[in-house]
Amino acid sequence: MVNWDPTSENEENSKSFPLKWCFVSLSDVISHQKRLEASVYDIEAKQAMQLIKSSRYPLTKVGGKDGLAFTYVGARFKRIWVEKSDIPIFQPSSILDVKPDPDGYISHLTKINIEELRVKKGQILMTCSGTIGKVSYVSETLANKVFSHDLLRITCKETIDQGYLYTYLKSRIGNKILLANRYGAVITHIEPHHLAEVPVPNAPLHIKKKIHNRIVRSYELRDESNQLLDKAERLLMNELQLPAIQEFEAGAVRQVNVFAVKLSELEGRADASYHVPVVDAIVAHMKKYAAEVTTMSDPRISKSIVLAGVFKRTYVEEEYGYPFIGGKEITQLSPQTDKFLSKPIHKSRYEKELKVLENTILLTDRGTIGTVALVPKHWEGYAVSQNVLKLIPSSADIAGYLYIYLNSDYGKVLVRRQTYGSVVNMIDDKSLASVEVPILKSEEVQNKINDLALEANRKRYQAYELEQQALRIMDEEVIYVK
């Protein structure tokens, strides 16, 4: 006979796989068409709501008459797109990018008050459709930028509440409550009136101040990092005497879309996009003003370029896996993911192909090709998908310079000329290896560009640390405090 103690086994299982549960009232079941599936009721959201209701501090709301902020979205309008204008417009998903690029340009003839679409410094922005509940804070980088109507603007009544409310909405508990209605069901679109129902612990001023100041400084550091990157790119353009890319293209491309290519210059590529005249003109210009033009495969430039293989992914809970991000997340300061690759199953592939270290250069290789990121310190240990190429610089002495070059308009043109594929555009490790890169005549200028990029990355790490501090204070001194 075998003695079996079910209690001890259940306790062991509960430690390894915490049970997720909640009470669901009969009225809740009826309001959800008598459905009994757990997926209909966001258990974590209901538990989060119970936690906030038991807060030490009195509760207020995000929006509404007595809430902390005024909330609104813009009016719908028909956009008149143009190739170029002085009204760049950004989509809501751009709010998560550290250094966002406009999604296009709209004409002055667009029938909308453009000023009403501009976001204001100190506002909190929130995606309210599609991927909902993502938040950002408006600092110098986004101030006065034009965003589409479907972005929720949150204007706090008191300045001290800006960083505090941002942190609460970004916290795990606050975001869970935000994304569920009062019955615990997941919502698919956020309107201003929803925020009048979202409870917020109204912490004392000294706690709010600690959180707010950290968020403001975090975003100041992001602004400073962007300014350093802009300065580095200007140095590169000046050293190579490169005009704005639009001017270069206009001067290099003839009106007729027919051009001859020698057999010796085909390089195994018969697609016209690979042989566009502007590419040859850019390379010829760089050869004139650079000390040398080499390629990414040069050992002075890179140690290796890694293209991960396609594989079946096994996802697990956060504590058991590697955080896994794709190309869409690499432009963010702190990529948020709910995907974690199993450590036991994927360890070998992770070590060889997926793992990234500080100063690795990431470059999207399919879909939207050529989006670039320089891995900051706090991304070390992340697993990055096979949709992103990993370029390992030869040393930290050139990593920042390569990032600035690849992220410039000219670098992107030379990367994208390597594109192949008919249905899904892509490049591979061999394609990136053949991309031309200039070695500058002035070693001092090249080193300065490199140093500016690395300093910008350090500021982004500091910005991340400050935001994490704010989130910890929110958890330890507001949400979970007894």
Tokens, residue 249: 């293209």
Residue 482 falls inside a structural domain:
no
Residue 406 falls inside a structural domain:
yes
What is the reported pTM? 0.88
Residue 81 falls inside a structural domain:
yes
pLDDT tens, residue by residue, 9-36: 344 333 444 556 667 778 877 876 677 7
Together in a domain, 260 and 361: yes
Together in a domain, 177 and 309: no
Report the pLDDT value the prediction gives residue 253, as an integer from 0 to 100. 56
129 touches 160 (CB < 8 A): no
Range of the domain at 301: 242-439
Cα–Cα distance list, 455 to 82, 104, 232, 329 (Å)? 36, 30, 11, 21
Q: Which residues contact 397 (CB under 8 A, 6 or more apart)?
A: 447, 450
Report the pLDDT value the prediction gives residue 39, as an integer from 0 to 100. 56
Q: Which residues contact 369 (CB under 8 A, 6 or more apart)?
A: 415, 416, 419, 425, 426, 427
Residue 458 falls inside a structural domain:
no
pLDDT class of 135 with cuts at 50, 70, 90: very high
Report the pLDDT value the prediction gives residue 303, as an integer from 0 to 100. 97
Per-residue pLDDT averaged across 313-319, rounded? Answer: 93
Alpha carbon 13 to its chain centroid, in Å, reads 36
Tokens, residue 313: 């992914």
Together in a domain, 292 and 415: yes
Residue 39 falls inside a structural domain:
yes
∠ CA 409-415-420, nearest 5°, is: 135
Q: Is the pLDDT reported for residue 179 higher than 60?
A: yes
Tell me the percentage of the chain whose pLDDT exceeds 70.
86
Domain CATH number, residue 298: 3.90.220.20
pLDDT class of 445 with cuts at 50, 70, 90: very high
Closest CA to 181 of 72, 41, 53, 55: 41
Helix locations, 257-323, DSSP H: 277-289
Together in a domain, 200 and 253: no
Together in a domain, 193 and 290: no
Q: Which residues contact 30 (CB under 8 A, 6 or more apart)?
A: none
pLDDT tens, residue by residue, 206-256: 999 999 999 999 999 999 999 999 999 999 999 999 998 877 776 655 544
Residue 63 falls inside a structural domain:
yes
Taking the CA of residue 410 as centre, how many other CA atoms within 13 Å lie in the half-sphere pointing to its CB?
26
pLDDT tens, residue by residue, 386-417: 899 999 999 999 999 999 999 999 999 999 98
Together in a domain, 257 and 196: no
Cα–Cα distance list, 13 to 3, 17, 18, 422 (Å)? 18, 6, 8, 50
pLDDT tens, residue by residue, 424-441: 788 999 999 999 999 999
